[in-house]
Every structure is written in C-alpha cells, then in structure tokens.
Amino acid sequence: MDHKVDRRGFLKLAGMGAGVVFASRLALNSGSALAAGYGSGSGADADDFFFVQMSDTHWGFSGDKVNPDAKGTLQKAVAAVNALEHAPDFIFFTGDLTHTTDDPKERRRRLAEFKDIVSKLNVKNVRFTPGEHDASLDFGAAYQEFFGDTHYTFEHKGIQFIVLDNVSDPTASLGTNQLAWLKKVLDGFSKDQNIVVFTHRPLFDLYPQWDWATRDGQAAIDLLMPYNNVTVFYGHIHQQNYHMTGHIAHHSAQSLMFPLPPPGSQPKRMPVPWNPETPYKGIGFRETQAEVKEHGFNITEYPVVKA
Amino acid sequence: MRTKHYLGVVALLAGVMGLGAVLADTPVSEQAQMVIPNPGEQVIKVSSHKFEFVPAAITLKKGVPVVFELTSTDVIMGFNVPDFKNRATIIPGVVTRIRIVPDKVGTFTFFCDIFCGAGHEEMSGLITVEA
C-alpha cells in the first residue's frame, strides 16, 4: 500500500454547482498537476474526453429498509446522466447490473429489464462488465446472452481500455487463461501507453475479511506494473475508495442501489440502512475527464438525486 | 493411492455439478489437502449448507492448533479465514480438513468465498481466540 498522492497527484475539494459532490484529480505524471477547469472546459485539450462510470445497480434488489426506491433508482440515474452538462463519449457499467437470484429465468428477466432501462441513455456507446451477482452462478452464461464477452479491450482517443472479468469464476478469480490473454494484450503496448482497466472487484486485497479482493488479482497487477500509465476503475464495494499499488491507481465507485460501510468499520458487511432525512445518500455515479496527453483523470462524483 | 482416489471423487463431483471450470484453476495441492489430526489434537466439525455454517461461532485458545473438518450438504462452498491465511474448498460428500494455529487473540471472520447463491454474501461466522 503506497500512497503517492502528494508527489504524483492531488485531491482537491471543489464546489462545482448542484449535484457535484467532489472532484479529484490523479495526475500520473508529476509535472502535470494542474486541473483542467470543470464546467467551462478551459484548459482542456482537444483530445480530452469524458466518460461516465456507473456501478452496482443491482436491478431486482428489494428491501425497503435499504432502498425504498429500488424500482426507481436506476431510472433516476439514467435521467441524471442524460442531464449532465458534458455529454460523455461513453458510459461504462462496472458490474452487478442485477441482483442475484438462484432462478435462471428470473436472472434473464432482470438482465432484460436492466438492458431496456439503460437503453434510455442518450449516449449509445455503453459498455459493460459483469459482477458476481450477474455471472457467478452460471459462469456468465446469461450475462453473455445479453452483453457478449466478459473480458475484452477497446481503444478510445489513444487510451487502451482493458476489461477484466473476475466474477464469472465463482471463486472470484481471473484464471490462468484470462491472465495469459492479458499478458498477450499488454505485450502489444509500449511501456508508456495510457491504459485504463475496468473490472468489478478490487484487484488488490482491499479487505479480504469482507471478500473485497480478487483471488489472483495480484497476478494481474504484476503484469500491469511495468507500464507507466495505468489506472483501474472498479465497483463491488459500493463506495469511493482510492488506493495505490506502486504507481497504479485504483478507484472504486459508489453503488446505484445502496452504500456499504467502510471496510472493517463494523463486524459484518451489511448495507447502510436508508435514512429518510438524507435519501439516496451514498448512491451515485461518476464522470471522469480523461486528459489524454497528460495521462491524467479528473473524477467528479454525482449523487443520483440532487440535494 | 489414497490421494489419487480423493482426486477422482473430486473430479467426479465437480463434473456432476458442472463446476469443472472452478477446479481447473484450483491448485491440485489445495484440492488434495490431506490434513490428518495429530493424537489428542482438537478437531472441530463445521458443516455448511446454503447459506450458513454450523456452528457459526467458534472459540479457540491462542497457540493451540485445531483441525477443522469441513463438509457441505448441498453445493461447493469455500471456507476462508483471511486473518489466519487459510482457506479450503468444500466438496459435497467429501470431508475437507485444514489446520489453523491461532497466533493472536481477538475475533475473526470466516466466510464462504465461492459464490453459492442468493444468500452467499451473508454466509459467514466468527472465530473468537482467547488468551
């Protein structure tokens, strides 16, 4: 665990108008620690772009003490993303699209409903990776019927995005085949290539006592370590978390169904109860501005409902 | 010979349950883990089924080794005790043993680390280690 925020980047609080909780910036090059202006677009390079990360929507969850609006939160999130000032180039869902069910028919029904709801997003470049709730009971079979491959790559404006699946294996592993694939992908990149990894579970041992880890995640980190510009975005833990493994930054996202408590803050990992005085607190999504030439990312967190 | 027979049972059960992919990435050394309790050594039987361990609260003495005898009556489960860096895969119909030497006092979580169904995330227990 090696936080190098002071030297390699900085975190700043910023009041960005209605809806924005905070903005943070991780500059991967130490000499580029000036944030581009939010809202105005000042300082942004022509190649810079925005993407949105949405996570842990758990469509199909029910439990009024945790989220009495379980059947309406995802639709509110879609509306909030559609209302963003900056239209993102693409939107990425980092898993647990649906809440798990032992019934394969119900699993497919939930996946179909989820897909229909997110089809209302104005931005049509939408990509996905599964969470264990979607994929761990059938090795990703139902998920793949709706969303295709569970691990893949894509390129956008010079950044190479790698999507890793650490949930289709119910042991929460990437597996030797996927690790070999990852090595082959990385072998094709220069050491200075700007690389972003999307995955569901943390690749590092965030808090194994609550199963917040990937069994063979360290092997993936070892493969990524020789590359100078790597950032990982993931979900699973239903809250923001920032962690460095060497020079690799790992950012977790909030859930769009219910928050979970900070790691180790209580004996059991249980959802944070709904507070009628602060509805939707801890539920939200993030918009990230990619500064392509500077290998930096400005992250802005949004609540699902404006206060 | 005994190990060979054990692996045969594991492979058969895994095939029947459609979980070959799971075990394909599980080290053979772990699958074949054959811990034999020493004479007089404490043995604690822990059975599992969707979605609980029985017992779910276990008390140990610091420094006193214990062998857990783990069984499952329905599906493949995991038994993971991160604070003591030990885990096991539990195959239905097979007794799996692991040895833990509790080297610190406190209360520690154990949980199922193989996603087993809708109640998987609540499937955990506590080990209390006394001085």
Question: CATH says B37-130 is which class?
Answer: mainly beta
Segment B35-54 shows an average pLDDT of 96
Residue B14 pLDDT greater than 70, yes or no: no
Of A132, A136, A209, the CB nearest to B83: A209
- pLDDT of A142 above 90: yes
Which residue from B minimizes the CA distance to A140? B21
Is A96 near chain B, with CB under 8 Å?
Answer: no
Does position A295 have pLDDT exceeding 60, yes or no?
yes
Domain annotation covers residue A24? no
Domain count, chain A: 1
Given a cut of 70, whether residue A124 has pLDDT beyond it is: yes
Residue type, A302: Y
Query: In this predicted complex, what is the ipTM?
Result: 0.83
User: Is B109 within 8 Å of A176 when comparing Cβ atoms?
Assistant: no
Show the DSSP H helices in chain A as ranges.
Answer: 5-8, 73-82, 104-118, 132-135, 141-147, 175-187, 217-224
- Quote the domain boundaries for residue A97: 47-280
pLDDT of B35 over the 50 cut: yes
- For residue A29, being part of any structural domain is answered with no
pLDDT tens column, A264-285: 999 889 999 999 999 999 999 9
pLDDT tens per residue, range A216-252? 999 999 999 999 999 999 999 999 999 999 999 999 9
**Residue A293, domain member (yes or no):** no
- Which segment of A89-93, A197-201, B2-6 scores lowest on mean pLDDT? B2-6
CATH number at residue A252: 3.60.21.10
Of B22, B80, B121, the CB nearest to A170: B22
Q: pLDDT at residue A156 above 60?
A: yes
Closest CA to A292 of A194, A175, A151, A214: A194
**Is residue A78 predicted with pLDDT exceeding 60?**
yes
Cα A26 to Cα A81, A136, A299, A302: the distances in Å are: 23, 33, 8, 18
Annotated domain spans of chain B = 37-130
Greater confidence, A160 or B6?
A160
User: How many other CB atoms are there within 10 angstroms of residue A124's CB atom?
Assistant: 8
Q: What is the DSSP letter of A35?
A: P
Instruction: Spell out which residues of chain A touch residue B115, defining contact as CB-CB under 8 Å.
Output: 100, 132, 136-137, 167, 170, 172
Contact of A171 with chain B, judged by CB distance below 8 Å, is answered with yes
Going by pLDDT thresholds of 50, 70 and 90, the confidence category of residue B4 is very low
List b or e across A92-115, with b for residues whose CB sees 16 or more CB atoms inside 10 angstroms. bbbbbbbbbbeeeeebbbbbeebb
Interface of chain B against chain A, CB under 8 Å?
Answer: 19, 21-22, 24-26, 78, 80, 82-83, 89, 107-109, 111, 113-118, 120-121, 124, 126
pLDDT of A30 over the 60 cut: no
Q: Who's near A154: CB < 8 A, 6+ residues apart? A: A127, A161, A163
Does A139 have pLDDT greater than 60?
yes
Looking at the domain assignment, is residue A92 inside a domain? yes
